[in-house]
């Protein structure tokens, strides 16, 4: 680790933390304070430990940057129209047979490219009991819904008691056949996968977990061990990756990541084209380049390691393979 970059024992949450820990320079203070006024910051110790320089593949994903203040003409606060497709708070219902449930909008880490960056944050979006009840009633009354995807924010930072209650209530709806959780916790804070959390996740209905992982370095021994505990409950783990300039936009980086996922028994599921959230243009990779990388990987790595390259069209039109 270079001079001036110190390991962190706690989650770094402020511009002051960034400067103190050597992740940002004093001269960036004013611009970064403006960024911090708009977008949440959190870098937990497990990810902090992987940053050697601020512009390496891990640093780029999580360290705030002055470029976030510039919104490009095509960027939107709600790039995939979650809000427009929300019949009751916390529910997004775009595809007939699947609905999203967002019980909270806090995360263990805040990704600088997040497509829900205008919504997520440490003190936002915890559904009240009444809102949860209304969400269950909506799901109950829509018999076409076969799968509920619990997302956010990050559902695995809920208390095990709260999570168990949600899983229990969803399980009680007969037409819901499958549950899925989208999370960053196994890589961001593997210590959160406690026995109490595992007990909450040990349910009768099929439960899948989609883990958001963008670089092979994120799959540390601790992250893999946390994922293994989930797999031992019979929970299949899917890998979700966002294609990001400077992070993973090369044959080598994605090949390494997908192979690391297979070693951790994770099926690479989606490679997402970046959504046009405000201030994220520095991460943009042209779709032609994404296609070229995947085409070059085909034949070089196992077919089971290749995800579907997917784009969520603006305006709520839904996902299409690229
Ligand atoms: C992405 C998404 C889903 C899940 O889509 P899959 O292709 O099944 O992973 C469901 N609902 C909404 C609103 C989504 O954006
Ligand atoms: S963990 Fe997911 S929801 Fe949270 S900031 Fe990162 S991309 Fe956004």
Residue 88 CA, ligand 1 centroid: distance in Å? 17
CA angle 300, 55, 124 (to 5 degrees): 100
| 125 plus 227 within the same structural domain | yes
Q: What is the DSSP letter of 12?
A: B
- 107 is known as an active-site residue: yes
CA distance 294 to 302: 12
Supply 218's token pair. Answer: 């994120």
Residue 74 lies in a domain: no
| 204 plus 287 within the same structural domain | yes
| 58 plus 103 within the same structural domain | no
Say what the pLDDT of residue 82 is. Answer: 82
| 87 plus 213 within the same structural domain | yes
| 30 plus 152 within the same structural domain | no
In angstroms, how far is the first alpha carbon of the chain from the final one? 39
CA distance 294 to 251: 8
Report the interhelical angle of 160-171 vs 129-141 (nearest 10°).
20
| 60 plus 172 within the same structural domain | no
| pLDDT tens per residue, range 36-52 | 999 999 999 999 999 99
Q: Calculate what percentage of the chain has a pLDDT beyond 90.
A: 89
Residue 78 lies in a domain: no
Task: Say if residues 101 and 131 touch (Cβ distance below 8 Å).
Answer: no
Residue 2 lies in a domain: no
Supply the pTM of this predicted model. Answer: 0.95
Say what the pLDDT of residue 1 is. Answer: 41
- Asked whether 92 lines ligand 1 (CB < 6 A), one says yes
- Asked whether 170 lines ligand 2 (CB < 6 A), one says no
| pLDDT tens per residue, range 135-173 | 999 999 999 999 999 998 999 999 999 999 999 999 999
Q: Which residues have CB under 8 Å from 7's CB, separation 6+?
A: 1, 45, 48, 49
- Asked whether 95 lines ligand 1 (CB < 6 A), one says yes
- Segment 16-36 mean pLDDT: 96
| 40 plus 118 within the same structural domain | no
| 273 plus 144 within the same structural domain | yes
Residue 286 lies in a domain: yes
What is the span of the domain harbouring residue 63? 15-69
| 299 plus 210 within the same structural domain | yes
The dihedrals phi and psi of 174, each to the nearest 5 degrees, come to -60, -40
Residue 7 lies in a domain: no
| 116 plus 24 within the same structural domain | no
Domain tally, the chain: 2
* Catalytic, out of 17, 48, 110, 114: 114
| 161 plus 22 within the same structural domain | no
| 253 plus 186 within the same structural domain | yes
């Amino acid at each position: 680790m270079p001079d001036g970059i110190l390991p962190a024992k706690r989650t770094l949450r402020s511009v002051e933390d960034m400067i103190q820990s050597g992740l940002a320079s004093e001269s960036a203070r004013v611009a970064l304070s403006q960024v911090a006024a708009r977008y949440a910051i959190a870098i937990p110790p497990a990810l902090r430990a992987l940053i050697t320089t601020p512009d390496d593949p891990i640093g780029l994903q999580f360290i705030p940057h002055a470029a976030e203040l510039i919104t490009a003409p095509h960027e939107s606060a709600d790039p995939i129209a979650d809000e427009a497709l929300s019949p009751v708070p916390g529910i997004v219902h775009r595809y007939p047979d699947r609905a999203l449930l967002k019980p909270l909008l806090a995360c263990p880490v805040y990704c600088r490219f997040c497509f829900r960056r205008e919504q997520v944050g440490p003190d936002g979006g915890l559904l009240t009991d009444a809102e949860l009840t209304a969400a269950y009633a909506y799901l109950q009354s829509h018999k076409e819904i076969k799968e509920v995807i619990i997302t956010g924010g990050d559902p695995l930072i809920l208390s095990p008691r709260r999570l168990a209650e949600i899983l229990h209530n969803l399980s009680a709806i007969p037409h819901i056949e499958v549950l899925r959780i989208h999370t960053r916790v196994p890589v961001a804070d593997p210590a959160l996968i406690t026995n109490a959390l595992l007990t909450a996740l040990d349910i009768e209905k099929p439960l899948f977990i989609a883990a958001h992982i963008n670089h092979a370095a994120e799959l540390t021994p601790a992250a893999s061990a946390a994922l293994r505990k989930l797999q031992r409950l019979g929970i299949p783990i899917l890998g979700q990756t966002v294609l990001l300039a400077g992070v993973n936009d090369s044959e080598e980086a994605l090949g390494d990541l997908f192979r690391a996922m297979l070693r951790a028994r994770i099926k690479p599921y989606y490679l997402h084209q970046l959504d046009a959230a405000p201030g994220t243009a520095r991460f943009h990779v042209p779709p032609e380049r994404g296609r070229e990388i995947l085409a070059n990987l085909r034949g070089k790595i196992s077919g089971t390691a290749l995800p579907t390259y997917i784009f969520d069209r603006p305006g709520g039109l839904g996902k299409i393979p690229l």
